[in-house]
Amino acid sequence: MCLIAFAWQVHPRWRLLLAGNRDEFHARPSVPLARWETPPIIAGKDLEAGGTWLGVTDGGRCSVVTNVRDPRDPQHGRSRGLLALDYLGGVADATNHADALLKTAADYRPFNLLTFDTTHAFYLGNRPEPRAQAVTPGVHGLSNADFNTPWPKTRTLMQQLQAWIDAGHDDEFAPLFEALADPRGYPDDELPDTGVGLERERWLSSAFIRGEHYGTRASTVVAVGYDGRGVVVERRFGPFGREEGETAIPFSP
């Protein structure tokens, strides 16, 4: 994933409400959102490295991972997509998983990881060094920088998610998908400098990225209720934002 906003323990129905975009090279092979037999999770699958960028379990666990945008940082180590897969397919709760991952986080390519169980949530990263932070109740954002770094598109998506909650929405996810489809860019003086050059910063500044070879591949909404029941909805896109289908999978304990 490359853009995420989520509400943790603040919505009256949903313990976790998450909206995010996966930006990736269109040539990288993947399988759409589906139920896996082994491990028994609901996720998309990266066919190049075998991991996933986002997934949930019937028990209400969720995990999502992003990369860290820094061309000066070599992409060495284990695939970060295995991080979400290992958490979802494991038995450790979010707290014990965070403690254990700190010992091996440096072995992975640069990552940001979010983990959620029925009571706790954690942000974990390995740049500039391994660290773990418990997530407090509220609306938070994550992109290809540190947790809650106020990149314009991250800040805007957080505001749109808060507005969705304030409007009293429950299971009407269309406004969230509209927010994820936002193509607008932002003024140069608001853009980060991540070392990719101003033109690319401008292109990557929008929530939804259209391109021939790289762009938004999927927009996803995850809703997990306090009772453990929930749903994952994924909309998929090809080059230049071409619509390629939608999948919705409900789950329950």
pLDDT one-digit tens code per residue, 51-93: 999 999 999 999 999 999 988 888 899 999 999 999 999 999 9
Closest among 132, 105, 130, 112 to 6, alpha carbons compared: 112
| Cβ proximity of 2 and 15 under 8 Å | no
What residues pair up with 122 in beta bridges, in sequence order? 115, 134
Q: What is the CATH number of the domain that holds 205?
A: 3.60.60.10
Q: What is the pLDDT of residue 74?
A: 83
| Cβ proximity of 143 and 68 under 8 Å | no
CA-to-CA distance for 119 and 117, rounded, in angstroms? 6
42-54 in b/e form (b: 16+ CB < 10 A) is: bbbbbeeeebbbb
CA-to-CA distance for 120 and 110, rounded, in angstroms? 24
Q: What is the pLDDT of residue 115?
A: 98
Domain interval for residue 185: 3-251
Q: How many domains does the chain have?
A: 1
- Angstrom CA distances, 110 to 2, 76, 185, stand at 13, 8, 26
Q: What's phi and psi for 172, nearest 5 deg?
A: -100, 95
pLDDT one-digit tens code per residue, 102-130: 999 999 999 999 999 999 999 999 999 99
Indicate the pTM of the whole model.
Answer: 0.97
One digit per residue, pLDDT tens: the chain, 253 residues?
Answer: 999 999 999 999 999 999 999 999 999 999 999 999 999 999 999 999 999 999 999 999 999 999 999 888 888 999 999 999 999 999 999 999 999 999 999 999 999 999 999 999 999 999 999 999 999 999 999 999 989 888 999 999 999 999 999 999 999 999 999 999 999 999 999 999 999 999 999 999 999 999 999 999 999 999 999 999 999 999 999 999 999 999 999 999 9
CA-to-CA distance for 241 and 230, rounded, in angstroms? 27
